[in-house]
Chain A
Amino acid sequence: MLSFLFRILLTFNATSLLVIIFLIKEEMVLWKIFPSLCPHISSWPDEISYFAYIIAPVLLTGLSIGLSRFLSEDDFKPVLIPGTEMKESAITSIEYANNSFLPSYLGYFFVALSINSFDTLYFVYGILFVFTFMSQALYFNPLFLLYNFKFYNITTKNGSVIFLISRDCYKIPKNVEIEKVYRINDFTYIERG
């Protein structure tokens, strides 16, 4: 149940950009959405609302990084080669992947800018949310970059390809030696560092 809620949170963080861009495009400030809650701040500049929209997923991303400590642990320490006494790095290749999400994020921008009504937003966002949640692949969101995280595609010695989120700057596979990583899902791991 906990991991289910955690995945909902990650999905929301990863997809929230669509809603934010839409709200900004529609100039939908906070006091238009909640007129009764904040009558006295209606004179504030619109930018404050937009800032609040952006800061919310940033804080939630921070929360998700904090919560990841309760996830299942793994490690990428040198492994013993069977039948020998040699230990070799568990990683055979590492590829910097910070830019790989850009196309999908640009996609979010264009979709958000071309949505005309709230009804369309509900449906489009709903579909996007469900598919992101089910695919478990687009959990990575650019907000991690604000927390100094980097994205990598790594291949283990046995050939499985894993998406790693880490603060460290890895370049050479054999230098990747990680005491503890947390499993977001079977293909995505985060090193909290």
Chain B
Amino acid sequence: MFHLISRVKNQGNPKFFKMISGEEIFNLNIAGLELVEYSPETLLDDGCWFKVSNFLAQPYCINLLKEPFISADYNILPQDKYGKIAYLCSFQNDDFYFQKVTPSTYLKNKKLLRFGDAVTVEEDGDRLFVNGIPDAVYLSETNQLIFRNLATISSMFKGVDTLYKEATHEQVEEFLESDFIELKNDYSAGKVNKPNRKRVALAMDTLASMDDTDQHVIFDYIVEYCEDMIFNTGNKSFEIANDDSLKNLLFGIEQRFFTTPVGEEKRVANSIQRL
């Protein structure tokens, strides 16, 4: 049987309440999806979802998934908590489908046009808009959490955003103070855009695993691919004056540049997946 439960905000215990049973809320053909392990370096194509494997063992896994699901363990959602729903969780064939509830999906006393035999106006009562496609699904059989947008699910799975490494202001400053960077044009940590912050966090990890020889190989590699980049051979540093030049440097550190074997066309990988 299908069961729909909800997590209520600012609630002591219990946190989950039962809403209804017997209705299939979400309809998603999971077999038709292509799943790729989550990586901040990967951009998703249509029909492609991120997965986090061995999800039960992850620190951000919620207790709900760690115990057997028995709908009778959950009290019925009382009326005074309707407006406090944080997210929905639909239990369907042993899988858990999650949808975050946002002010835009919770319609409070809005007028709705209803197209029946004639057009009528409905305006009494609150309504919750259910998206056909859930924000995340926990697949019990394979112990995977699948989702498309990490930012959307981070409020449901506290701590899952640690997967998405975005450098703090201090880390960006530390990175920009590296010997191989020479800042120009008053460019500073405060001006670094969000995608680059993410890349800085990744690049710092990559650099930490490289020795000096590796780093020099990388610098030559960047110079080879990025003709716009100004490299001072004297102090072995790149001039970084804007987000674009920083992006090139970061892509270089991640070795995103490559040449096609046939045609020898120079390319950059906007999104990568490890083979």
Across the two chains, which residue of chain B brings its CB closest to A186? B75
Most chain A Cβ neighbours within 10 Å, of B18, B67, B72, B94: B72
Q: In the complex the two chains form, what is the Cα distance from A183 to B1 in whole Å?
A: 15
Contact code string A64-98 (vs B, CB < 8 Å = 1, else 0): 00000000111111011111010010100000000
Contact: B140 with A75, CB < 8 Å? no
Q: In the complex the two chains form, what is the Cα distance from A83 to B65 in whole Å?
A: 9
21 contacts between A and B (CB under 8 A): A72-B20, A72-B21, A72-B76, A74-B71, A75-B21, A75-B71, A79-B69, A80-B140, A81-B68, A82-B65, A83-B143, A85-B141, A90-B68, A156-B73, A157-B70, A158-B67, A158-B68, A158-B73, A160-B73, A180-B1, A183-B76
Across the two chains, which residue of chain A brings its CB closest to B21? A73
In the complex, which of the residues A83, A162, A179 contacts B72, with contact meaning CB atoms closer than 8 Å?
A: A162
Please provide the 7 A-B residue pairs with the shortest distance between their CB atoms, ordered closest to farther: A79-B68, A186-B75, A73-B21, A74-B71, A75-B1, A74-B72, A160-B73
A152: CB under 8 A from chain B? no
Residues of B within 8 A of A88 (CB): 68
Q: In the complex the two chains form, what is the Cα distance from A73 to B21 in whole Å?
A: 6
| Interface residues on chain B, number (Cβ under 8 Å) | 22
| Interface residues on chain A, number (Cβ under 8 Å) | 25
A181: CB under 8 A from chain B? yes
A184–chain B nearest beta-carbon distance, Å: 11
B93–chain A nearest beta-carbon distance, Å: 10
- How many residue pairs between the two chains, A and B, have CB atoms under 8 Å in the bound complex? 62
Contact: B72 with A183, CB < 8 Å? yes
Residues of B within 8 A of A74 (CB): 1, 3, 18, 21, 71-72
Across the two chains, which residue of chain B brings its CB closest to A181? B72
CB contacts under 8 Å to A, within B82-110, are: 94
Contact: A82 with B68, CB < 8 Å? yes
Could you list 13 further interchain pairs (A-B, Cβ under 8 angstroms) beyond the known A82-B56, A90-B72?
A: A72-B18, A74-B72, A76-B72, A79-B69, A80-B140, A82-B66, A82-B68, A83-B56, A156-B70, A158-B73, A160-B73, A186-B75, A186-B76
Residues of B within 8 A of A140 (CB): none
Across the two chains, which residue of chain A brings its CB closest to B141? A85
A residues in contact (CB < 8 Å) with B: 72-77, 79-83, 85, 88, 90, 156-158, 160, 162, 179-181, 183, 186, 189
A156–chain B nearest beta-carbon distance, Å: 5
Most chain A Cβ neighbours within 10 Å, of B1, B20, B22, B71: B71
A94–chain B nearest beta-carbon distance, Å: 14
B61–chain A nearest beta-carbon distance, Å: 9
Contact code string B39-76 (vs A, CB < 8 Å = 1, else 0): 00000000000000000100000000111111111011
Residues of A within 8 A of B70 (CB): 76, 79, 90, 156-158, 160
A6–chain B nearest beta-carbon distance, Å: 13
Residues of B within 8 A of A81 (CB): 68
Residues of B within 8 A of A72 (CB): 18, 20-21, 76
Across the two chains, which residue of chain A brings its CB closest to B22? A73
Residues of B within 8 A of A160 (CB): 70, 72-73
B260–chain A nearest beta-carbon distance, Å: 44
CB contacts under 8 Å to A, within B113-157, are: 140-141, 143
B89–chain A nearest beta-carbon distance, Å: 14
